[in-house]
Amino acid sequence: MNFSTPSFPTNPTPPTTAFSAPAILSGSGLVKTYGSSTALAGVDIAVRAGESVAIMGASGSGKTTLLHTLAGITSPDSGRVEFQSAAGAVDVTAMNERDRSRLRREAFGFVFQQGLLIPELTAIENTALPLMLAGYPRREAEGRAQHWLAALGLAGMEARRIGELSGGQAQRVAIARAQVTGATVVFADEPTGALDSATSDDVMSALLGSTVGQGHALIVVTHDETVAARCSRIIRLRDGRTDATAGVAAGSTGTGVSA
Amino acid sequence: MTATSTVTPPMASAVRISGRAPIARLTWLLARPSAQSAAVLVLPAIAFAVTTALMLIVLGGALMFWRWTPDETPDSGVYQMLSVLALALLLVPLASLGGAAARLSARRRDDRLATLRLLGATPSVVTRMTVLESTAVAVLGSLVGVVLYLAAMPLVGLIPFAGAPIGGGELWVGFGVLALVILAVAALAALSAAIGLRQVTISPLGVRTRQSAPKMHWMRIVLGVLIIAVAFGGLSAFPTIGDYVVMIAILGTAFAVGVAVLNLIGPWAISVAAKMSLRRASTPAKLLAARGILESPKAAWRQVSGVAMTSFVSVVAGTGIAFVNTLTGDYEADTFLLLADVQTGITITVVASFLMVACSVGVNQAAGILDRRDLYVSLDRLGMPREVIEKSRSRTVMSPLRFVTLGSALIGAVLVLPLVGISIVVAPLSIVTIAGCLVGGVLLVWLSLKATTPVLTRVLSQPERL
């Protein structure tokens, strides 16, 4: 499958020129402890629109906690997360549970390692769900979902249940679900963790094409160097801090960011 | 331990290997509460306890009638026959509650057992371990159930029959029956575990690899109608009935046939209704609920089928009694008492069957949340509002329940339509009582569903544990 010339449905957000734009999502001085163990010990991070950032590090280095904190899933003990929404800057850390849930639903997209799609729903129903949650009529939601599935090479599989799809196909449904609302930031936690290398490559292309290719930001937690190398930037964590000794720049192969 | 430079693995020949897995030791090892919550063992134990307690109370009541003699109570035969009817009515929800407990106890072990299979345990080892554990949990639970039964006896004893409260002592079943009930619960658990675990023992890989939703064939309804026709023909072959025993036998057969037909048609009807609501579903909660029911119409039916027969019988019999009761006022005192008692009996049966359904709904829902914990956590992370999850859970249970309760009540009402009309006018209170019982029962199930919300809250509040 070729994703170099993706024809994804257009979203209302215009593509932003990378690196010149202000950060769409930023965290400063993020600290999070669980009991006696420190997951984040003061992390600063800024992600721009049209940028893909890989977060790497050993198990327990705090990468998933960082992702969850940036996404408003967990609240940091101290520090601040700011998101540049269409209506202006919002302080994610100051929001209550309900508002954060709404933010995740409407402004962010998520792709997890196992997809975690709802097994009894079909591919199109899974994809349309975020739109239905946002109040779209089902017909309209499924119409948009269908476009996304087709753009991700899943035309004809709309009515299949998740169990009838391969691992790579299921991840694409998850990608479609993450982008169907036009989320400007997509968070991916080991999106290729359960896939073989060829499929992993395909899924990564689809993920980059549908996010960065649309001018949106992508934040990927991964332990796979090949996956990280495809992002425009790598942030390495060690013991809850960004590792200064690690190389900063990664190859920008296939992301189309430099365009 | 001697200091050696290289680590030598213990040689197989150095250890005497019996070739037999220490089933009891392994089971105990895996049964201890570990990282997984204690709910794994506690939930089925509670379910078995409730099953046992309800079974003992119901049996105690029925046995009480069978101790009555015609000398003391002229209508003792009628009471005995009706008690068999009530027992038969309660058998279905009781079996489904017991089944839910047994399946829960077996299903909760799936993951570990699949792992054991991968490690090389033979299917027979895995099966014996599961059966042993489920049975142990069942016995433990039913012992708790005996205590519950003893505690509830004085309270249930306040219910009046034949003009006076029956008294707690009357409900004592005796040690023999007590032992039999515990044995029956243990056997049910063992059997369920053995059957339920077949998939795991067949394939060590993937416990949940179901790919397509089961389809309900329309032949079910054809078959159902055929069975009813044959049974009806068979029943009318008995022209006059004199003996109670014969009558009870016929009643029992009619009942078994009725239950069999309901079990044939029920899942099909539920799947048809769910398909209709799937097409119309306009909100995420409705969509999720419809798909959830279609995922297993049989399970949805099993959960609520207990009230199908009860709700039907309560409408037919309740209306009949209400009508007869008001027909003439100058009954003998005995007949009047009998009619009042039948009404009491109907109320008890309706309440008991809803109680059992409520219990099995609670057990099934709690198990369902624990089973799908990572999915719920991920949906929460995606920003799905908790109310949507709650609403869909609620709809998945309540819509089949409403469908079954209303459906069978309506069929019952249609059958005795003229009587319903008259009774509403002349005995509104009786009709209100029946309706109230049904509504109350549905509410009870809803409450039990709500009682499982903290389980979801707990799962969602600890997403970091995943």
Residue A25 pLDDT class (50, 70, 90 cuts): very high
Print the domain residue range for B316. 271-466
Together in a domain, B294 and B410: yes
Give B265 or B325, the one with higher predicted confidence: B265
Residue B305 predicted with pLDDT over 50: yes
Give A251 or B22, the one with higher predicted confidence: B22
| Amino acid in the structure at residue B199 | Q
Residue A6: predicted pLDDT: 44
Residue A83: predicted pLDDT: 93
**How do residues B167-226 score in pLDDT, each as one tens digit?**
888 889 899 999 999 998 888 888 877 776 554 443 444 334 444 556 677 777 777 777
ipTM: 0.81
Query: What is the nearest CA distance from A215 to chain B, expressed in angstroms?
Result: 21
**Domains: count for chain B:** 2
Residues of B in contact with A164 (CB under 8 A): 211-212
Residue A81: predicted pLDDT: 93
User: CA–CA separation, B70 vs B78, rounded Å?
Assistant: 10
Q: Are A237 and A66 in contact (CB under 8 A)?
A: yes
Chosen from B382, B388, B460, B464 to mutate, greatest number of chain A CBs within 10 A: B382
Residues of B in contact with A119 (CB under 8 A): 208, 210, 375
User: Who among B212, B282, B374 is closest to A161 (CB)?
Assistant: B212
Together in a domain, B329 and B196: no
Residue B15: predicted pLDDT: 55
Residue B448 predicted with pLDDT over 60: yes
* DSSP structure class, residue A38: E
Which of B191, B209, B227 represents a domain boundary (last residue)? B209
Q: How many CA atoms lie within 13 A of A243 on its CB side?
A: 18
Ordered strands of the A88-91 beta sheet: A37-48, A23-34, A78-85, A88-91
Residue A254: predicted pLDDT: 40
Q: Are strands B160-161 and B164-165 parallel, antiparallel or unpaired?
A: antiparallel
Measured on CA atoms in the order B257, B261, B264, B270, is the torsion positive or negative? negative
Q: Are strands A23-34 and A78-85 parallel, antiparallel or unpaired?
A: antiparallel
Residue A124 predicted with pLDDT over 90: yes
Together in a domain, B202 and B297: no
Give A198 or B97, the one with higher predicted confidence: A198
Residue A13 predicted with pLDDT over 70: no
Residue B200: predicted pLDDT: 43
Question: With an 8 Å Cβ cutoff, are B288 and A132 in contact?
Answer: no
User: CA–CA separation, A49 vs A215, rounded Å?
Assistant: 6
User: CA–CA separation, B62 vs B179, rounded Å?
Assistant: 17
Task: Evaluate whether residue B251 is within a structural domain.
Answer: no
Together in a domain, B161 and B301: no
Together in a domain, B203 and B278: no
In DSSP notation, B174-203 reads: -HHHHHHHHHHHHHHHHHHHHHHTHHHHH-
**How do residues B308-343 score in pLDDT, each as one tens digit?**
877 887 787 777 777 766 665 555 666 677 777 887
Which of B194, B209, B224 represents a domain boundary (last residue)? B209
Residues of A in contact with B283 (CB under 8 A): 132
Together in a domain, B389 and B283: yes
Task: Evaluate whether residue B215 is within a structural domain.
Answer: no
Residue A250: predicted pLDDT: 45
Lowest mean pLDDT among A75-79, A131-135, B268-272, B407-411: B407-411
Residue B148 predicted with pLDDT over 70: yes
Residue B90 pLDDT class (50, 70, 90 cuts): confident
Task: Evaluate whether residue B124 is within a structural domain.
Answer: yes
Together in a domain, B343 and B453: yes
Together in a domain, B110 and B205: yes
Task: Evaluate whether residue B239 is within a structural domain.
Answer: no
Give B461 or A220, the one with higher predicted confidence: A220
**Chain B (220-279) residues lying within 8 Å, Cβ to Cβ, of chain A:** none
Reading the block at residue B37, the tokens are: 């919550």
User: CA–CA separation, A56 vs A58, rounded Å?
Assistant: 7
Which of B192, B209, B226 represents a domain boundary (last residue)? B209
The 3-state DSSP composition of chain B as helix, strand, coil percent (nearest 5) reads: 80, 0, 20
Domains of chain A are 23-242 (3.40.50.300)
Task: Evaluate whether residue B136 is within a structural domain.
Answer: yes
Residue B333: predicted pLDDT: 64
**How do residues A149-164 score in pLDDT, each as one tens digit?**
999 999 999 999 888 8
Residue A219 predicted with pLDDT over 80: yes
Task: Evaluate whether residue B227 is within a structural domain.
Answer: no
Q: State whether residue A74 sits within 8 Å of chain B by CB.
A: yes
